Structure 1
């Protein structure tokens, strides 16, 4: 398992992109919207030499990102860890008594499969497990 990315909830996408590219020297590699229920967000992927972040803004009032911004404000939303095989990692974690937010299991338009762990196991940190089966 290795760190894949950090998701950051932002209120102003363009302002955030400018900060992470101009000030911190990252490169904007992709912007897209995910209208799926339970996601409903705009996403900008910023790449650095050895890591990347995802900037997240809500596209609807009932988006998980909108709820996060309302409850906690802008900032780190989640940390994602890449595993070799997502399905096996889920089974292994469940054998250890961990639970997942089952409705978050999905694939992105860019081939990443993911699921969020119940944050009660990770000391309140929203934790994503993901893999890239077609990479």
Structure 2
């Protein structure tokens, strides 16, 4: 099964300040900035490319968003690491055969066409791990 790091999600309090750091200090390029208003997500995002790597800066837009809850518990910083797979459904099935469980309520397709789900972090030493694919790129 093909798998590679897709992006690293970083929880931030000030999106503009974070964008400035990642573009000015680290030489990244701001590729996209948008707000996800979907219930249970409520996050403003900035997508930064640094070389071939992708950073998603995540600022909560409500007190109940997963990013807000994360920051309340752990503070700002690395929120998750996302791994791109060829086929999300197949990857989920394979991992479940090996005893890995997922946070079923996180399975979704973003407005940008990425399908994703988060593994239960107890399998990864507390690291939030996202699996994702881009089915529209296969057509």
What TM-score do the two structures reach when normalised by structure 2?
0.95
1:83 is matched with 85
1:44 to 46, 67, 77: 46
Q: CA deviation at 1:3?
A: 0.5
Query: In the TM superposition, what whole-angstrom CA distance separates every residue of 1:30-89 from its partner, at most 9, and x where no partner exists?
Result: 001111122110010001111110000001000110011111011000000000000000
Query: Unpaired runs of 5+ in structure 1?
Result: none
1:107 to 106, 109, 117: 109
CA distance in 1, matches of 2:134, 2:16: 28
**Alignment RMSD (CA, Å):** 0.6
2:71 is matched with 69
The alignment of Structure 1 onto Structure 2 pairs a total of residues equal to 135
1:5 is matched with 7
Q: CA deviation at 1:111?
A: 1.2
* Range with bigger deviation, 111-120 or 33-42: 33-42
What TM-score do the two structures reach when normalised by structure 1?
0.98
Specify which structure has the higher proportion of helix.
Answer: 2
1:125 is matched with 127
CA distance in 2, matches of 1:112, 1:99: 20
Query: Unpaired runs of 5+ in structure 2?
Result: none
SS, match of residue 93 in structure 1? helix
Q: Runs (4+) of structure 1 moved beyond 4 Å?
A: none
1:29 to 11, 31, 53: 31
